[in-house]
Amino acid sequence: MEEIKEKIKEYFPESEFKINYDSEEDEYEILSNSETNDLCLLFKIDGDHIIIEQLNKCKTSGKQNLINIENFATSIPNINYISLMDKSMLRLCENIAIKLNIFLILCNNESWYNTKGYYSKTNHTDSQINNSIQINRNIINFLNECFEKNNIKDETKIKQLLDGIQLFTSDDVNKLSVKGFFNIVKEIMKTESNFCQDKYIWFRNILITIYFSKLLQYDMILTKDIVRKVGSKKRKSRSKKRKSMSKIQVK
C-alpha cells in the first residue's frame, strides 16, 4: 500500500493534498492540504480498475482532480478502466442543490461525466436517442407528461408549476423546446451570483419532477477505458531517422 501511496503523491503532491488509506474499507482518501481538509477524492482499486466513490471540488477543481486520478490510473500497468456512479449535484444555495446530470442532459444531451469520456457500457446510445427526442419536444407538452407520470393531477398546482417557466423567460412557451428553455436557464445562471431565490427552488423542484417521470434515460453507472500511448517515442525516432536518410539521398 505504501508503494501505491507514493505513486499517488506524484499526481496529488503533498504540498496541495493529504493522502489517507482506510484498510477496513480498502479506500484511498485525498484531502486538500488546508485547515478545512476538504475531501477531494475517494476511490478504491479493485483488480483491473479504479472505482471513484466521491469526486469533489476542493482547493482544486473537480475537473482537475479527475484528470489527476486518470493520469495516476494510466501510470499503473494493470489498471484498464475507471468506473463511478454519477451522483453529481450542484449546490446553488444552502438549501438548494440540483441534479447536475439531469440538468445538463436537458441542455445538450450529455452529462458532465459524458463530456469527460465516461459512458454507460450497456445503453448509452439508446439513451441518447431517447433523450434527444425528449429534449426537442415542446416544453409545455413535455412537462405535462412529467406531471402525469408523477401523478400530479391538481390543475392549480399544474398551473403554478408551468407558470414557473416565466421566472426565467418571457418567450412564447408554445414555441419553446425543452432544450431551448434549459439553455436559457443555464445562460442566466452564468450571470447571477445569488441563487437563494424562489425561482431556483422552483428550478430544483421541476428537475426532481423530471427525474422521477423517467422520461429521460440515464444509467448512472459509467466507465472510461484507460488508453495508453504505446511506442510513440519509438515511432517518432524512426520517423526522424527516415527524414534524415531522405535528406542524405537528396544530397
pLDDT of residue 166: 97
Which residues contact residue 233 at a Cβ distance below 8 angstroms, ignoring those fewer than 6 apart? none
Domain annotation covers residue 229: no
Amino acid at 113: Y
Assign 237 a pLDDT band (cuts: 50, 70, 90): very low
pLDDT of residue 239: 45
**In terms of domains, do 114 and 193 share one?**
yes
Domain annotation covers residue 149: yes
The angle that helices 100-108 and 178-191 make with each other, rounded to 10 degrees, is: 120
Gap between the Cα atoms of 86 and 98, Å rounded: 13
pLDDT of residue 232: 45
Domain annotation covers residue 49: yes
The pTM of this model reads 0.86
Cα 113 to Cα 95, 127, 192, 209, distances in angstroms: 24, 15, 24, 22
pLDDT of residue 2: 79
Q: Where is the domain boundary, 85, 117, 148?
A: 85
Domain annotation covers residue 168: yes
In the predicted model, what is the mean pLDDT of residues 141-156?
98
Query: How many domains, the chain?
Result: 2
Gap between the Cα atoms of 223 and 159, Å rounded: 41
What is the dihedral sign for C-alpha 96, 102, 105, 111? positive
Domain of residue 178, residue span: 86-219
By DSSP bridging, strand 89-93 and strand 96-99 are antiparallel
Gap between the Cα atoms of 57 and 235, Å rounded: 39
Gap between the Cα atoms of 3 and 103, Å rounded: 40
**In terms of domains, do 121 and 172 share one?**
yes
What residues pair up with 138 in beta bridges, in sequence order? 177
Domain annotation covers residue 122: yes
Domain annotation covers residue 63: yes
* Predicted confidence (pLDDT) at residue 247 exceeds the cutoff of 80: no
140 versus 37: the higher-pLDDT residue is 140
Domain annotation covers residue 243: no
In the predicted model, what is the mean pLDDT of residues 51-78?
95
pLDDT of residue 231: 59
What residues pair up with 177 in beta bridges, in sequence order? 138
CATH number of the domain residue 68 falls in = 3.30.70
Domain annotation covers residue 246: no
